[in-house]
Chain A
Amino acid sequence: MSIATATVDTTGPETGARSEDYLWTLNFGPQHPATHTTLRLVLKLDGERVVDAMPEMGYLHSGFEKIGEHLTFNQYVTVTDRMNYISPMANNVAWHHAVETLLGIELTPRCTYIRTIIAELARISDHLLCNGAVGLDTGAFTFFLYGFYQREVIYDIFETLCGARFTNSYTRVGGLSQDFTPLVIEKIRTFLKTFPKTLDDMERLLTRNRIFVDRTKGVGVLSKAEAIAGSATGPVARASGVTRDLRKDEPYLAYADLDFNVCCATTGDCYARYLVRMQEMRESLKLVTQALENLPAGDINVGIDQRIARPTKEQVYSTIEGTISHFELSMANRGFEVPHEESYAAIEAPNGELGFYVVGDGNETAYRARCRPPSVLHFALFPQLIRGHTLSDVVAVLGSLNIIAAELDR
């Protein structure tokens, strides 16, 4: 009763007890279902109210950037899969976008469209899991199952495309590992037809659900100024009124040709982040539909004369250029030319600006492969979002920031 709600008078006269004496410390994580794998928080609580939070990370630090200095540009894509395992396709695209920026490679139109499609499918699967997890943490289990079922459909598309459910390693420098087959296109079309209905169902389940709205509205408010100062990007920043979206602001791949809206909100609370993600899924559907209908014909890889992408079997066996190119790319120390330069390139990944700062030293291996992880900057914002709220809001705020531990710690 009164014990739990005892307020701390920090300004009152000296009573012999310091204000900290009333506070108790709660260790939250790193092994807790609502921390979404391995985050850790040390919370300072006044009764049920969170006075302060100290996030701790590193419980999944596996040396991604160090591995990047030992694997070639094509090999490292397998490791980026395991970085943000909610949407690996977006990581594949981001990594090779950065490498191609460093090498100065112009992709074929078909490749840019296919990469756009898979990046948007990755965005849908990310937002399904993220919003599903917010629902799960606030008590809406059905919503999560609806979302996860559609994720299985996207897994199925990716499996048909490249054989792996979600560690795809689909892109290559200058192209892709495999072209779209008619079966893949048919599966994406079926998904485009059936998914809007599920999305409607999901919105009906949660968007106006009184319990959910009460638990998320006005919780974890991030102002626009705080979002910019804290380097927030992606849906977290857009829910706070920052209109930055690299797909519009620095159009890469095929985004310049396609028609879509940037989804923004101004309140900056958990509910706004949920709404932005729901709406972004609809925009992604629009993008996938347009890109699929306008999918250009042609090659997926850059020409064999550039000696970047591996030639097809047919080219190797029937043309001399193909044979030479295959030989050059296969031999040690005979890979493609890399400038002694460094460059940064980023894409709008599902949870923010995912960029790579790649330093080339003439080898096929990056001298330094720095990943700019959106999760780190979002997790650093957590203490200021949670101060003053209750313990049960911790999971709602944490879920709505969409922090992926492997990308956080790398």
Chain B
Amino acid sequence: MPTPPPSVDDVLSGLRGRCGEFDTSTFRGQTRVVLPEPVAFEGLAWLKDQGFDLLVDVTCVDYLDYPGATHRYGLVYLLASTATNQRLTVRVFVDDPDPTVTSVVPLWAGANWLEREVWDLFGIRSVGHPDPRRLVMPEEFTAHPLRKDYPLQGRGERHNFPVITRDHS
């Protein structure tokens, strides 16, 4: 008879012991934790030791014109446990002018490209990332397109190419 896995409440109270007080909420059965940026890495490392061994996703939301938002960017770390199938969402809020978080690549190798994507599309630097390049946009691109102040059609970058006619080719 295996021991029952620790409940989410146990995990959260343990996390409070490590990281101090933080907000939690539950929506549709999903538990969300808001960790302050300075202790986020420590908290995530502790959660990994508690069995949340699978990093499902790292992404970001730009709350520029979101009603009632207090911060500009909210990073989302979706964790899951392969043994107990529990899930936990960890939120970390950062703000302009220099939005940075601590890279979690030392904890989960899979975060490598996800954090590069967050840098590429939102412009949030991951401190300590082994390969901090853009992921999907060309290197000469200067904007971060998923920010809310960037227009859907872009600023004309997609037209900036030489035209090849029948005479040239």
Contact = CB atoms under 8 A, between A and B. Distances in A.
Interface of A: 57-58, 61, 63, 65-67, 69-70, 101-102, 104, 226, 228-232, 242-244, 249-250, 340-344, 346, 353, 355, 357, 359, 361-362, 367-368, 370, 372, 376-377, 379-380, 409-410
Given A229-B110, A357-B76, A377-B113, A342 B61 contact: yes
A244 B81 CA distance: 10
B89 A344 contact: yes
Contacts, number: 100
Contacts of A101: 28
B113 A361 contact: no
B57 A355 contact: yes
Contact of B110 (A230, A242, A341): A230
A357 B78 contact: yes
A250 B117 contact: no
Given A66-B145, A231-B56, A410-B136, 18 more contacts: A57-B136, A58-B136, A63-B145, A66-B146, A226-B109, A228-B53, A230-B109, A231-B57, A244-B82, A344-B56, A344-B57, A353-B56, A357-B76, A368-B62, A370-B57, A370-B61, A377-B113, A380-B112
Contact of A357 (B57, B82, B113, B145): B57
Contact of B108 (A231, A368, A410): A231
B55 A231 contact: yes
Nearest to B148: A69
A343 B56 contact: no
A409 B135 CA distance: 9
Chain B CB within 10 Å, residue with most, of A243, A249, A340, A370: A370
21 contacts: A61-B136, A63-B152, A65-B146, A226-B109, A229-B108, A230-B108, A232-B110, A250-B85, A340-B67, A344-B30, A344-B57, A355-B78, A357-B59, A357-B76, A362-B67, A368-B61, A372-B59, A372-B78, A376-B113, A377-B113, A379-B113
A372 B66 contact: no
Contact of A377 (B59, B110, B152): B110
B46 to A, nearest CB: 17
B58 to A, nearest CB: 9
Nearest to A370: B59
Contacts of B89: 344
A409 B136 contact: yes
Interface in B90-125: 108-114, 117, 121
Interface of B: 27-28, 30, 53-57, 59, 61-62, 66-68, 76, 78, 82, 85, 87, 89, 108-114, 117, 121, 134-138, 145-146, 152
A402 B136 CA distance: 19
A344 B110 contact: no
B28 A104 contact: yes
A61 B137 contact: yes
B118 to A, nearest CB: 10
Contacts of A380: 110, 112-113
A343 B30 contact: yes
A87 B53 CA distance: 29
A340 B27 CA distance: 11
A343 B152 CA distance: 24
A284 B145 CA distance: 39
B67 A341 contact: no
A236 B85 CA distance: 18
Chain B CB within 10 Å, residue with most, of A228, A355, A409: A228
A361 B55 contact: no
A346 B62 CA distance: 22
A350 B110 CA distance: 20
Given A63-B152, A228-B82, A370-B57, A57 B110 contact: no
B130 to A, nearest CB: 12
A201 to B, nearest CB: 36
B99 to A, nearest CB: 16
Given A70-B152, A231-B55, A58 B109 contact: no
A65 B146 CA distance: 8
B105 to A, nearest CB: 10
B61 A242 contact: no
A342 B30 CA distance: 10
A58 B138 contact: yes
Contact of B61 (A243, A249, A343, A359): A359
Contact of A58 (B27, B68, B78, B137): B137
A230 B61 CA distance: 23
Contacts of A67: 152
A409 B121 CA distance: 12
Contact of A343 (B28, B82, B113): B28
A66 B61 contact: no
A58 B120 CA distance: 11
Contacts of B113: 376-377, 379-380
Contacts of A342: 27, 61
A243 B85 CA distance: 11
Contact of A249 (B30, B85, B137, B138): B85
A348 to B, nearest CB: 12
Nearest to A62: B136
B85 A367 contact: no
